[in-house]
Structure 1
């Protein structure tokens, strides 16, 4: 299951999975474009990336954004997402 984490001003959606048994969390970034999407996947905690369509500057932004938020994403991945964590 993927949980919503953040929506940016350009409608880019950032979601994350629950923590898998091996301790990894999938973070998915998707930006709508004409006739499709640009997307990127980051696996935490090792920060391995796959991406399609984003420029180097956009990826640098996303890499910093995920690094700055990784501790929260990892926490929320164990609590059923940010909405469930907020209701605890």
Structure 2
């Protein structure tokens, strides 16, 4: 299951999985493009292994920093059923 984490002003959606038994968490980033498709990237935490489709190098620099800055929260929320469950909403 994927849980919502953040929506950016350009409609980029960032979601994450629950923590897998091996301790990994999948973070998925998706941005709609002008053709009606999407650019996407997957980051596996805590290893920071990336799979990127369609994003520029500068966009990825931004996303990599954003995920590094939020990794501790994403990992925590992955163990608590997502941010909405952790916040008791």
Equivalent positions of 1:1-88 (< 5 A) are 1-33=1-33, 34-87=35-88
TM-score computed with the length of structure 1 as normaliser: 0.98
Choose 33-42 or 2-11, whichever is displaced more.
Answer: 33-42
2: CA distance between counterparts of 1:42 and 1:12?
15
The number of residues matched between the two structures is 88
1: CA distance between counterparts of 2:16 and 2:47?
15
SS of the counterpart of 2:38? strand
How far off is 1:84 after superposition? 0.1
Structure 1: gaps of 5 or more residues: none
Q: Deviations over 1:16-71 (max 9, x none)?
A: 00000000000000001122000000000000000000000000000000000000
TM-score computed with the length of structure 2 as normaliser: 0.97
Aligned structure 1 segments of 4 or more residues deviating by more than 6 angstroms: none
1: CA distance between counterparts of 2:36 and 2:7?
20
